[in-house]
């Protein structure tokens, strides 16, 4: 059900933070124990055939934990800052979508994230 004055078109993106490790479970278990979220073994293998382990948190946890993680990031710091900004705009109105102004703001943040990601990984 759409709340009047909201934008509820599904854009196909959501906020999450993840870390991947291909040598052992220990760093992933540490993140899971320290910050919550989920951890699992991915079906994908690396080019050398190693198993990939992943830890992941969603938007609510990202709002809490990213401010503490960001100072330690070097390569993906700008991406993480975009994700935090995006996560902070995630609250919906009632059962409907977002107020139109917030939907426009979220789209701008998402486009900024894509731009930062493209600078970091031009072929992605």
pLDDT score at 50:
85
Task: For residues 93 and 123, give the distance between their C-alpha atoms in angstroms, rounded to a whole number.
Answer: 37
DSSP secondary structure letters along 37-97: SEEEEEEEE-TT--EEEEEEEEHHHHHHHHHHHGGG-SSSHHHHHHHHHHHTT---STTS-
pLDDT for the residue 43 = 75
User: What are the tens digits of pLDDT across the range 5-30?
Assistant: 444 454 556 788 999 998 889 999 99
Strands (E), 46-96: 51-58
pTM of the shown model? 0.73
- Which of 90, 66, 63 has the alpha carbon at shortest distance from 78? 66
Return the domain boundaries, the chain: 15-120
Give the residue from 70, 72, 74 showing the smallest Cα distance to 62. Answer: 70
Quote the pLDDT of residue 10. Answer: 47
Pair type for strands 6-7 and 51-58? unpaired
Choose among 77, 86, 81: nearest CA to 110.
86
Does domain 15-120 fall under CATH 3.10.28.10? My reply is yes
Q: What is the pLDDT of residue 57?
A: 93
The predicted structure's pLDDT at residue 35: 92
* Residue of 1 and 14 predicted with greater confidence: 14
């Amino acid at each position: 059900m759409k709340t009047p004055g909201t934008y509820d078109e599904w854009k196909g993106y959501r906020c999450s933070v993840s870390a991947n490790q291909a040598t052992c479970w220990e760093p992933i278990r540490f993140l899971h124990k320290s910050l919550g979220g989920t951890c699992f073994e991915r079906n994908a293998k690396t080019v050398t055939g190693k198993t990939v382990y992943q830890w992941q948190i969603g938007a609510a946890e990202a709002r809490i934990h990213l401010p503490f993680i960001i100072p330690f990031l070097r390569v993906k710091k700008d991406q993480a800052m975009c994700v935090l900004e995006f996560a902070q705009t995630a609250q919906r109105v009632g059962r409907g979508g977002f107020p139109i102004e917030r939907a426009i703001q979220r789209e701008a943040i998402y486009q900024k994230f894509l731009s930062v990601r493209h600078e970091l990984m031009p072929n992605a």
